[in-house]
Amino acid sequence: MNGQLWLGGLQKKGRHGDRLLDGGPQMIQLSMDGRRLYVSNSPYSTWDNQFYPNLESWLLKIDIAEDGSMSLDESFYVDFSTIPGRPRAYEIHLPGGDVTTEIFA
C-alpha cells in the first residue's frame, strides 16, 4: 500500500477543502486506466433517508499516481444536497466502462 486517505466516517471526520465530509466512503469505482478512483458516501438511499436524514451526499475523485500513491482532487466535489429533491450518490457508472461498472444483484 502506497497511501491512505481519510474521507469521513464515524471514527475520524474527513474534510474536502473547507467542507466536512458526512458519512464515509461506501461505493467506489476505479477508472479502467487505474488512474482515478471515484467515491460516494451513500450505501442505500432508503436506509440513508430513514437512519441518516441529515447526511449530505457527495461524490469525490482520488487521483492515483504511477507509483500507486493517492491524492484527493481538491477541484472535484459533487454536492448532491444542492440538487432539488436531494438525491443520494450511489453507484458510479463510467462511460465506456466494463462490467465492473455494473452491479448485479
Angle of CA points 29, 18, 44, to nearest 5°: 35
To the question of pTM greater than 0.85 for the whole model, the response is no
Q: Does 53 reside within a domain?
A: yes
Q: What is the DSSP letter of 70?
A: E
Cell of 104: 448485479
Q: Does 43 reside within a domain?
A: yes
The strand pairing partners of 70, in sequence order, are 64
Q: Does 24 reside within a domain?
A: yes
Per-residue pLDDT of the chain in tens (105 residues, 90 and over written 9): 677 777 776 555 666 667 777 777 888 888 888 899 999 887 777 777 787 777 788 889 999 999 989 999 999 988 888 888 877 777 777 776 655 555 544
Domain that holds residue 97: 14-101
- State how many domains the chain has: 1
| Residues found in the chain | 105
Q: Does 5 reside within a domain?
A: no
CA-based Rg of the chain, rounded to a whole angstrom?
14
Q: Does 92 reside within a domain?
A: yes
In whole angstroms, give the CA distance from residue 34 to residue 68: 9
